[in-house]
Structure 1
Amino acid sequence: MLTDSQVRSAKKKDKPYRLTDGKGLFLHVATSGTKTWRVRYKFNHKESQIVLGHYPDMSLGDARIALLEVKKNIRAGRNPSTDKLLRKEIISTQYQNTFEIITYQWHEIKKKFWTERHANDVIHSLERDVFPALGGIPINEIEDKPDVILSVLYKIEQRGAIETAHRVRQRMGEIFVFAIGKGICKHNPAEIVASNLSPVKRGRQPAIIELDEAIEMLQHVDDTPSFPVTKLAMRFLLLTAVRPGELRYARWEEFEGLEGDNPVWVIPATRMKMKREHIVPLCPMAVDIIRHVCKWSAGLEFVFPNSRHFRKPMSENALGYLINRAGYYQRHVPHGFRSMFSTIMNEHFPQDRFVIDLVLAHAPKDQVEGAYNRTTHFNRRKELMIEWQQIITKELKPIDELANIPKRLS
């Protein structure tokens, strides 16, 4: 889906082109620079196209609302290209009060106060988890049915995304409050069901688990001067989702296949919490980190050595102190990267919940089954670690730049 910045920054070219938003909606950019919202659709098995309006007079959110009206009327047997009355209805959809349209109106107002990443995350969660069940229903027909709201939230819980269910409930509540302010609703059913959700399990370790907040924190960590090995270890911890103690004592002989297609880090059972050998598939960036850290620790016992005594492992406080200096004292700790990985990856890949647990070396109830699956699910774990790299590092410094950040002078 498009973002506001993509639409706003689209420039004219020698030839007209389009930016696709999905479901037939796209932005047409003419050679003159004029931008128009258009929809491709099928009516009576024939493809047609209709112009919805011009940008910026019609915003991205307004275009998506108009798209809903197009789709609804096509299902009702009205052709947007030939029905002039329908054309006026599409461009002026304020009278439409479905949950989906009210949500887009609410989002258009709220996103002005959010980062673009957070705004996209909010609307994506609602489009994914709420719209399929409630999007097309008038919002005032839902306000007195908390059981309907709860059924949507329970489906989110069933895939293991407890915190996501709570966030979606909160967002739905804000949408109902918005509708109450417009005089469309009188009640907020999302508020009523709050106590019916499973409680969020809060561990002792503070962790930032929202994707936009996580990336912002990691950018601050990247920009905080430190010993380069500490910076590389921090990124490696992020990319592997292991426990900090497992990383501190990493030895060179534990790494295999770094030049091949299946590079791995084999952590011996003696250093694992569950006392079982753990095989960590390494994404390309993790392999790159190992190559860079050779500058400091090649020939030494430990991959990530102490900044003062190279023959000793990294200090157990080094990573935590770096996070604190970046401004996240008591908000995030090195162990928190595991919670960050679990929450974000379960939201992106709910069908892979079991495999994500294997990545984290969580012990299945059946120990025999656990040993079997650690082998058979290797390829999927490898794919997930590559996906994780793409999700969490796309706005972070590259490894060669990270390794050259100057050491703190104090």
Structure 2
Amino acid sequence: MPLSDVQIRNLKPKEKQYKISDFEGLYVLVKPNGSKLWQMKYRYFGRERLLSLGAYPAVSLAQARKLKDEARALLAQDIDPSEAKQEAKRAKREAQGHTFQKIGEAFLEKQKKEGKSKATLDKIAYHLKLADAEFGRKPITEISAQMILRALRKQEAKGNYETAHRLRARIGSVFRFAVASGLAETDPTHALKDALIRPNRKHRAAITDRDALGSLLQSIEAFEGQATTRIALKLLAITAQRPGEIRHAKWEEFDFQEKIWSLPASKMKMRRDHNVPLPAQAIALLDELRMITGNGEFLFPSLRSWHRPMSENTLNAALRRMGYSGDEMTAHGFRASFSTLANESGLWNPDAIEAALAHVERNEVRRAYNRGLYWDERVELAKWWATLLDDLRRL
């Protein structure tokens, strides 16, 4: 006869453990210490087996019967419920080791081995730290799209719309890495693509008017700060390279005989080697700079240590001291100045201008062709640009 809750509650311990049956193999085992354990007896391929279903009252009568029904359903499929239970436990233990944080660390290590720049690795680490604070200790298979969205909404609430978008992308990269590693089935961030507030992206401020650029060059010439900062701004204008590439430039990268600055792929945004032709004006600046920092590693070392490059804020701070706000001009803006005026001149192939800026052609064959085809033109373009800057400064 089936048991009732009242009967189970009133069961008293005895000197020896004993069983009280419910039905279909389910029973309560009453221990001498008073604990009451649900167990189910069944046969699997002719052999008697035992399945533990938990302790009463933590597992109620109704719950025990449900677990018993689930076990019988497995038996109907020729699955041993005891083995299925152990397999579920093993999977759970394994999942606990595959947390988002652990997989994120493996993903970051992969990026290091692929030669990503320190700046890129630092950004990845920063975003992973934000994600870890929300769900880093959870198994990756238990992280839902809504859980991720809550983390992204926290960034939006602070007005960090760009960070929220980048964080979603970074979390997605970790999930795709997990899928490729057989540790997850899907990437839940894909469903959140249109859920976030779109940031208003602002292009870096740049001066593209000739007269205004001439005035800026005059201000740089009259700059009363560090001589190395003045020279860095001049080289930035002449070479039209990224500020980070100027700041991290090393003397070993410069061939004064061939008049070439060779930037290794590890320093480049597009992860490809890049050569910059050096016109006479650039060589003169480098000769001046060698008298100041030529005995060190970096062209523009930090004021605090010659073993570190100039701070990333130095060049923009110098522009602010000259009276140029962030809405007028940035250190990165010299690239736009070069691109605009070179294209407006009509003298140069647009592909040569793009190559000078180290903008990578997506087509592999065309990229290899362009790299060889436009070098001579880029040498002449560099001379033209340096001369134009001289002319604008004298106006």
Bin for the TM-score computed over the shorter chain:
0.3 to 0.5
TM-score of the superposed pair, with normalisation by structure 2: 0.47
Specify the structure having the higher radius of gyration (Cα).
Answer: 2
TM-score of the superposed pair, with normalisation by structure 1: 0.45
